[in-house]
Chain A
């Protein structure tokens, strides 16, 4: 149980104006003071069983979790990423936290929770309707309210929490869960499979175009809790869905672990667009605190002519380790990855994508924009793999890095593996900084240095922002501006 209010401070004023502006305000840094029902820290088979029991899961689910847990115990934490991570004590984490009052509908939701979302600007409740967004808000581990259920149900779309899906649609969950990211896929995916507490489930039936954009807001709240959500989106033949995910977490001194798994399945001619704005707490300017964001996201273009598109704007987290990927199995299927990753202060990001071309005439496009400021370290790591079967496959990758300041780093680690002589793969990467000339030009036109930086960064990221739904694009642009204030100097 956590009872604590955290203070948000703009930080002490710095000596020079630019330095002061550089002090970053984390406006989502507050803790909601509600009672939570948590398991004590530590992880063993009993904890896995307890999580499963609390959620009233069927035996097959419990067994699935246990198998994942046993596999996880045989694995070691990966060390290949260019990240400086203090060893994580997995026994010091509490693997389950749920709001104690079990809300049954939005009206019953603890007003403090709603207040939390309000501060974050989540368009829940009436605002959701106005914004035309259906929100499945995940608060810590349990989904507390889902809006627009009825409207979606009329279209035949299932949009609910994962726990509910396990109860209500066990045959669908059983068929697809772990089919894209197997329980033992990697260290963090295995951990997630064992202890995941909730997440979103989306099912778009054959021929349905989802009538609205679906959105989930994740938030880590209670201290000492990791968040392990699991999202599964299935788009049947000829269906279409756009899914938005936003993440924030309160300020805390200790590092918190977030190990999520997202699985997308696109059947024939289906299209899934998955957008993320990730703004978990990045830690302070000295690298104290912040979220460890270790996420496995993978989409499977299982059907011919299917399409999966990932767009991400990563401005938060102390450490980001994530590679939203596409397995292009169906003929003529296509995968896209559009990313802006920003690291400031002591943030580290090792992120990118994997495009695995298996089907004929498959296409993929990768656009990655990395921005490093302060002492931030930003790595793009991407794999483009053309299997022997992927005749006519095409890939184009553009990886650009922007350096702001002398102590940051920008790195590019592409892996290109081609086994089909009919494929064409192109990779380009550049690294540059905001030049004095550019700044001088803007300033001579009466634009302040801050505005000039913001303008240049905006231009640098435009290709990616264009892919975001409008309200997210505005949020993303604002986030970058806030994050980079005064980074030049």
Chain B
């Protein structure tokens, strides 16, 4: 292989594959090997590839990561920093991509909720996961993940069951002697008419360099409701590549709130396929790169059935040398009449070295639709700043106040309330740092 990244994968893959959970299951071995050879053949994409136009992987290509952390089970980590006050439902904690029963809370699961680690599920009943692993993909990180993911989450909510307490999935990075790569997978199914609140958190116990990939496969059956909340506060050395793929059946509703705050190079690709009539997908979030952070969020929302609705509202704030990228694509397929699709992306550029790239895309193949998008890039209104300062607010505080108000709209509809407050607090804690660092 021509680059260090792929060479490291190629060298270690053989040994790693044989000890991954599920190794020895014929179909799984075959799928993993197929994904591996496809990855080794094509490598990482370049910025000439349209999907990676704004995210360069050239620096990553020159780095080698060790596959998996053999000491993950015994590393001591401080989980307090990720605690969510008032949120005390079931939780799964992963350290360097490996499930840690000792840090998790899986006892007293509510009736109708199945929750286990992927490693356990692969050992107990790999065949039930066959469909989720068989997905064909052309994305390099999807391939890498499909090859090397040995742990993660398997979550099922039985039909008609409403789970009141939020379920937390916590991904923690801990420093090791070498630069590590981990790959995790979440398989989530909400049965007919069920409801679930989920919190996905990313954090690191240090500034160590590492790579994490997470692929979440989320299915909502008829009438199911999912509230998915992502708090991404990865450490400054983290490269975090995630895909969250939603599929919604008739009358299902998924709401995704995301705060993309941490990490060095972070990409979150969100795909939502509205397969059933009247399915709805709502996504709201904030990405706020500072320092030299590169944060990309990609939305790919597909209306494939009648009277489906999607509503995306994202705010971006870039400071220092940070770069924020939003790609928001909405596709309305032929026959998806009555679709209603909206995307709203507003961005603040706070420093001379920062950059925002936004790409709202509409592809419409049906005529009885309402579809629109708006995107802006600008800065804080000088007149409003002046007004606040004339009322005695110091400049920094005035900027922080306005920046926070600018972002806050993305969290207004987050439920439940304690979680909303917690998210708002994390955002507020992140933003003044941003606004305060900027040059006047």
Partners in one complex: yes
B158 on the A face (CB < 8 A): no
Q: With A421-B354, A427-B375 as given contacts, are A412 and B362 in contact (CB-CB < 8 Å)?
A: yes
Interface size on B, residues (CB 8 A): 34
Contact of B334 with A406 in the complex, beta carbons under 8 Å: yes
Among B355, B364, B376, point to the contact of A401 (Cβ < 8 A).
B364
Does A246 touch B at the CB level, under 8 Å?
A: no
Cα distance A345–B352 when bound, in Å? 48
Partner of B377, one of A80, A407, A415, A424: A424
The answer to whether A407 touches B374 (Cβ under 8 A) is no
Say which residue of A422, A428, A433 sits within 8 Å of B368 (CB atoms).
A433
Question: With A406-B367, A412-B362 known to touch, is A430 a contact of B372 (CB < 8 Å)?
Answer: yes
| CB <8 Å contact, A431 and B364 | yes
B352-395 CB contacts (< 8 Å) to partner A: 352-379
Q: Which of B355, B371, B378 contacts A417 (CB 8 A)?
A: B355
CA distance A307 to B93 in the complex (A): 59
Cβ of B253 under 8 Å from chain A: no
Complex alpha-carbon distance, A133 and B304, angstroms: 52
Contact between B356 and A412, CB atoms less than 8 A apart: no
Contact A431:B372 (CB < 8 A) given known A388-B352, A414-B360: yes
Query: Is the beta-carbon distance between A421 and B379 smaller than 8 angstroms?
Result: yes
A425 near B377: Cβ-Cβ < 8 Å: yes
Q: Interface 1/0s, chain B 8-41, versus A by CB < 8 A?
A: 0000000000000000000000000000000000
> With a CB–CB cut-off of 8 A, which chain B residues contact A420?
349, 352
Interface centre among B334, B359, B366, B377 (most CB of A within 10 A): B377
Assembled-state Cα–Cα distance A279/B410 (Å): 46
Contact with A along B335-364 (1 / 0, CB 8 A): 000000000000101111111111111111
Given contacts A426-B376, A429-B373, A429-B374, contact A421 B367 (CB under 8 A): no
Q: Does B50 contact A (CB under 8 A)?
A: yes
Nearest-CB residue, chain A, relative to B331: A411
Q: Contacting B378 at CB < 8 Å: which of A388, A408, A419, A424?
A: A424
| Residue pair A421, B364 in contact (C-beta under 8 Å) | no
Contact across chains for B362 and A423 when beta carbons are under 8 A apart: no
Q: Are B378 and A429 in contact (CB under 8 A)?
A: no
A82 to B361, CA, bound (A): 12
The smallest beta-carbon distance between B222 and chain A, in angstroms, is: 27
- Tell me if A291 counts as interface (CB < 8 A to partner B): no
Shortest C-beta distance, B369 to chain A (Å), equals 7
Task: Determine if A29 is an interface residue (Cβ-Cβ < 8 Å).
Answer: no
Given contacts A421-B351, A429-B360, contact A406 B377 (CB under 8 A): no
A101 within 8 A of B: no
B364 in contact with A427 (CB, 8 Å): no
Could you say which residues of chain A place their CB within 8 Å of the CB of B366? 403, 406
Asked, given contacts A409-B365, A420-B349, A430-B371, whether A425 binds B376 with beta carbons under 8 Å apart, the answer is: yes
**Contact pick for A412, options B354, B369, B373, B377, CB 8 Å:** B373
Q: Which residues of A contact B369 (CB under 8 A)?
A: 403, 431, 433
A414-B367 contact, Cβ under 8 Å, with A420-B352, A421-B350, A426-B376: no
Q: Can you list 16 contacts pairing A with B, beta carbon distance less than 8 Å?
A: A386-B377, A406-B366, A407-B334, A412-B360, A413-B359, A414-B359, A415-B357, A417-B356, A418-B349, A420-B352, A424-B376, A425-B375, A427-B358, A427-B360, A430-B371, A431-B372
Give 10 closest A-B pairs by Cβ, nearest first.
A403-B367, A418-B377, A412-B362, A431-B371, A433-B367, A421-B349, A424-B378, A430-B372, A425-B377, A427-B375
